[in-house]
Amino acid sequence: MQKNNVNRSVWLTILTIIMVVAPFTISGYKVDLLTMLMVNVILAVSFRLITTTGGWSLAHVPMMGAGAYATALISGKLGIPFWFSMPLAGLAAGLTGLAISYPLVRTKDFSFFVASFAAGEAIRLCWIRFKVPFGGHRGLGVPIPELIPGVPALDFGEAIPYYFLTLVVTIICLSLMYRLDNSRVGDSMKAVQSQEALAKSVGINADGYKMLAFFIGSFFAGIAGVLLAHRLWAIEPHQFGFTATLYLLVWVVFGGSHTFAGPVIGVVILTILGEVLRPLADWVPMVYGIIIILTLIFLPDGLESLPRRLGSSAGKIWKFRISFGD
Amino acid sequence: MAILELKGLGKNFGKNVAVNEIEMNVEEGEIRGLIGPNGSGKTTLFNIISGFLKPTKGMIIWQGQEITGLPPHVVARLGLVRTFQLTALFSEMTVMQNVVTSCHLHTGTTLWQQFRHSAETRRKERETEEKALNLLESMGIADRKDEIAAELPHGHQAALGIANALATGPKMILLDEPVGGMNPTETSETMDRIKMLRDRGITVFLVEHDMRAVMTTCDKITCINFGNKIAEGAPQIVCNHREVVEAYLGEEMACSL
């Protein structure tokens, strides 16, 4: 146990050093790519949080959109500084998630799928329909965040400063979600997924936990939306359409959703693959399609289950042990 | 004193009457058996009592207080806990995690405390783990605490199911076919555990098809058929009751018991 913790902190330290040094060694385009990667990591991990109670919500990308639109309105139209608009927009997304969860927890399986899809699309149609304040098809502009409002200190319009802003927010979001996942609350959520009836009969308020998961998951999706919006400087409803939802599903199916690391692995590997295949950009959706089918057939629990499947001895090659001469 | 009273409890599914105005009392501290042919409404009755189904008519009185129509988690908090047939465990968790999760009600920490992970929270978590370990010891499966629930043999899974129910600190446990699909050794072990529950002052209400197990364990038996109560009383009386023999046991079975 102790050794495992040491291992983990060693790996996290190495990862942090790489993440801090990386932007200075690569092009601006690639820095932005890493920024978007981190946004997608928050999105995928927050999606997994909802799946731990059992439902694969198809309204998760619209929740990210809710955060993006909220920050566009709060910081753009009302002129409230980024540092306040980010948590407020997260809260707005969280409350939106809570609102749609009320009817959604009353549905199951297939009907949950369809209902969550419908709820997400309904929210997206609101942005198109109500030109005031959402701007219709053209969407909204989003201001560049300022470190201290009115003082030209650090230019978050540049790739590298924004990268570090995203890095800090990502670390905070992931550690909060990790903590929740490993707490009794996280266990209760997993109990709801595992055996809903049993969970209820040992006194767990199943619907309550599902709604809590929706609130927290949507909150962090909203934060991801905020980070996205302030980097793109403009948002429009099509970004949060079903294609984006499909990508999210592919990441999480490919990586696996049983462990915290699963979705992270999924996003990172598929994003790298997408970059490698850039010359064949038109083919990427098809490659993704093939990947999801192969994953479901050969690795139904996702990439995270690979070490376990290869057996414990081979698993050690995968996550090799670092020992300190003992 | 009756700990649980059912007053004219009925449930219709469309035009089908699944449970028809059942009147019965379960006394505190007894082991009550519920028997009847397949489809006679036993599981439906359990589902109604535990709050998974709402009755069409009638009342459920729990310790003098009406609980008709309350949701399952609230009923559980009042001390009336049901278990399910064997396979219903948190099957991908370890034995220990199962019981700790079921102790949920008594951990009593808020979401905020969870996040802060304060000394207070950690102390409570340690207490919960100790309590869970005690429960596993009393069920005789403490040595298997780190195994995955799904990988346990039948008898131990049943013990874990009971430990999960016990973890909530119940006054009464509803057991749905506690020895279904077990071999004779596992059956007698499970029945001993059920008697142990009574010795701890917990009232037991169980549905079971294994007549030998029911006869040797229960203090009193209720038999239902087509949603109607047809007999109630001491095991010997019920199993020689004419209607029970006709509807459920058959002549041979009745004589052999």
Structure tokens at A29: 């385009």
State residue B58 phi and psi, 5-degree precision.
95, 180
Q: Is the pLDDT of residue A109 over 70?
A: yes
Least confident of A22-31, A78-87, B216-225: A22-31
User: pLDDT (tens digit, 0 to 9) for every residue of chain B, 257 residues total?
Assistant: 789 999 999 999 888 888 888 999 999 999 999 998 888 888 899 999 999 999 999 999 999 999 998 999 999 989 999 888 766 888 888 999 899 888 876 665 666 666 666 777 788 888 888 889 998 998 888 898 898 988 888 888 888 998 999 888 899 999 988 888 888 888 888 899 999 999 989 999 999 888 888 888 999 999 998 888 888 989 888 888 888 888 787 766 655 55
CB count within 10 Å of CB B149 equals: 24
Interval A274-306: pLDDT, tens: 888 888 878 888 888 888 888 888 888 888 887
Domain encompassing residue B66: 1-79+172-238+249-257
The answer to whether residues A167 and A39 touch, using CB atoms and an 8 Å cutoff, is no
Query: Do B143 and B28 reside in the same domain of the chain?
Result: no
B243 part of a folded domain: no
- Spatial CA neighbour of B219 closest among B4, B13, B25, B29: B29
What is the pLDDT, as a whole number, of residue B250?
75
Cβ-nearest to B104 among A179, A194, A203: A203
Query: Does the distance separating the beta carbons of A197 and B81 come in below 8 Å?
Result: no
Q: B85 lies in a domain?
A: no
Going edge to edge, which strands form the sheet with B2-13?
B16-27, B2-13, B57-62, B65-66
- Residue A314's pLDDT is what? 42
The overall pTM is greater than 0.95: no
**Residue where a domain terminates, one of B120, B141, B169:** B169
pLDDT of residue B227: 86
ipTM (interface predicted TM): 0.82
Q: Give every CB contact of residue B230 below 8 A, 6+ residues apart in sequence.
A: B223, B224, B241, B243, B244, B247
The answer to the question of residue B131 being in a domain is yes
What's the token pair of residue A118? 């419908």
DSSP classification of residue A145: P
Considering A6-20, A53-67, A188-202, the range whose residues carry the highest mean pLDDT is: A53-67
Number of domains comprising chain B: 2
B116 touches chain A (CB under 8 A): no
**Domain end point (choices B169, B189, B211):** B169
Side-chain-facing half-sphere of A75: CA atoms under 13 Å: 29
Residues B208, B222 within the same domain = yes
Cα B77 to Cα A208: distance, rounded to the nearest angstrom: 15
pLDDT band at A319 (very low <50, low <70, confident <90, very high): very low
A179 at interface of B, judged by CB pairs closer than 8 A: yes
Q: Which of B84, B105, B107 lies nearest to residue A197, judging by beta carbons? A: B84
In a domain, residue B86? The reply is no
Peptide bond into A133 cis (omega under 30): yes
Residue to substitute from B78, B96, B101, interface A, most A β-carbons within 10 A:
B101
Question: How does residue A272 score in pLDDT terms, banded at 50, 70 and 90?
Answer: confident
**Cα B216 versus chain centre, distance:** 18
- pLDDT value, residue B202: 93
What is residue A313's predicted lDDT score, i.e. its pLDDT? 43
Characterize the bridge pairing of strands B203-207 and B172-176.
Answer: parallel
Distance CA B255, CA A209 (A): 52
Domain ranges (residues) in chain A:
26-240, 241-326
* Residue B84 is assigned to a structural domain of this protein: no
